[in-house]
Amino acid sequence: MPISRALLTAPLVLTLLALGTASLPSEPHLPPASSYLPRLVVEGRAPAAAFLARRDTPGQAARYRSTGPGIGVADRFRAGSVTKTFVATVVLQLAEEGVLRLEDSVEDHLPGLVRGHGNDGSALTLRALLTHTSGLYDYTAALPAADPVLSGAAGPSAQPLTPAAAVRAAVSRPPVTAPGSYAYSNTNYVLLGLVVQRATGRPYATEIRRRILSPLRLTGTSLPGARAPLPLPHSRAYHRSPTDGALRDVTSAGPWFSGAAGELVSTLGDLDRFYGALLGGRLLPPARLATLLDTGASGGVYGMGIYPQELSCGATVWGHNGHITGSYVRTAATRDGRHVLTFRVNTGTPPGADLEAELLEAEFCPRVRSEVP
């Protein structure tokens, strides 16, 4: 996957809770994605997991499933790098309006910010930031605390990392690749957040609210900045320390370092609606949507804030994942946006790529029968 992937110790009694229809009545042979939820809990080392799938077919309700204690369909959770799809959408809207151009250089909008140690903002375009082909070092790899949860850096009193400080941390290191080569870097989207603010005079979060959240009525989605509390309702979030293996409750840990690269808080339903609307053409005109989905610059790996995944049945789904302290989420949708699935676990430990692919195939490959161990 193009995203870097960074339990309770008592035994869990895994119970499947079914709300909504049990399966799509027109496809009774479809392997239910819910069959994979217990494995998400075990292999993701999470106390609980949930998914919500919707399809724009008359008479067919959205399907929700969960397993494990204390997780609900309306829960707010931290969505991590799913934020990037929202940011990319706003940038392309601004390009459509002529406020900026994708071939503008970073230097055009943020003079002097990307400079030194082999970094040159005048040689990097906004297109390169959007497609992760800038070569910029990922600032999250330069953070001083190896385990911010244990050090207390992610707690309620944490001092947020400003976007400028994040960029300075990145450009204090040489580029990881030459411009034009794909290398996923959170620095790219922190810079895009700053570009949006410079181009519009308003913070990127304000632009996301007015351009996406309000029109689509995504009332469970917010961009809280570095504020720690999750809005209600929410389930608990957990983190297993890499230093001593201990489990920590990190529900109150805010996105102190994430910014435009990963601060979004959302719900299963809101993410389903957003990706359905985006791919369905409600947020971008056809030519700009095609640009968003063009993976040519990255060698087929990544578009602009979104990436494809080809399944074994030949279907390709589009979406993004989010990996942040206490939360892992994945949304995938068909190209027309009419069939969307979002699932999450309430730790930052992602399930394996094979399991994730199996779950997506159970949902999007009706002719493929998968045996659930």
Structural domains in the chain? 76-347 (3.40.710.10)
- Cα separation, 357 vs 343, in Å, equals 12
For residue 217, pLDDT over 80 is answered with yes
Length of the chain: 373
User: Residue 332: in which H helix or E strand, if any?
Assistant: strand 327-333
Per the model's pLDDT, the better-predicted residue between 332 and 373 turns out to be: 332
- Cα separation, 335 vs 294, in Å, equals 12
Question: In this structure, what token pair is assigned to residue 318?
Answer: 């589009």
Catalytically annotated residues: 81
User: Residue 353: in which H helix or E strand, if any?
Assistant: helix 353-364
Task: Collect all residues with Cβ–Cβ distance below 8 Å to 237 and sequence separation of at least 6.
Answer: 77, 78, 230, 249, 250, 251, 253, 325, 326, 327, 346, 347
Q: What is the pLDDT of residue 252?
A: 85
Cα 287 vs. chain centroid, distance in angstroms?
24
Quick: pLDDT tens for 316-329. Answer: 999 999 999 899 99
In the chain, DSSP finds a helix count (H) and a strand count (E) of: 12, 13
Per the model's pLDDT, the better-predicted residue between 252 and 275 turns out to be: 275
- Cα separation, 85 vs 74, in Å, equals 21
Question: In this structure, what token pair is assigned to residue 75?
Answer: 């829960």
Binning pLDDT at 50, 70 and 90, where does residue 370 land? Answer: very low
Question: In this structure, what token pair is assigned to residue 117?
Answer: 């140690």
Q: What is the pLDDT of residue 144?
A: 62
Look at the alpha carbons of 298, 77, 331, 16 in this order and tell me if their dihedral is positive or negative.
positive
Average pLDDT value for residue range 57-74: 88
DSSP label of 47: S
Q: Which of 15-24, 80-89, 278-287 has the lowest mean pLDDT?
A: 15-24
Q: E strands within 63-217?
A: 63-67, 77-80, 115-116, 119-120
Q: Is 147 helix (H, G, I), strand (E, B) or coil?
A: coil
pTM of the predicted model over 0.85: yes
Look at the alpha carbons of 269, 273, 56, 337 in this order and tell me if their dihedral is positive or negative.
negative
Binning pLDDT at 50, 70 and 90, where does residue 314 land? Answer: very high
The verdict on whether omega for the bond into residue 233 sits within 30 degrees of 0, i.e. cis, is: yes
DSSP label of 160: P
The 10 Å CB-count burial string (b at 16+, else e) for 317-353 is bbbbbbbbbbbbbbbbbbeebebbbbbbbbbbbbbee
Binning pLDDT at 50, 70 and 90, where does residue 158 land? Answer: low
Q: Which range has highest mean pLDDT (7-11, 66-70, 125-129, 355-359)?
A: 125-129
Q: What is the pLDDT of residue 329?
A: 97
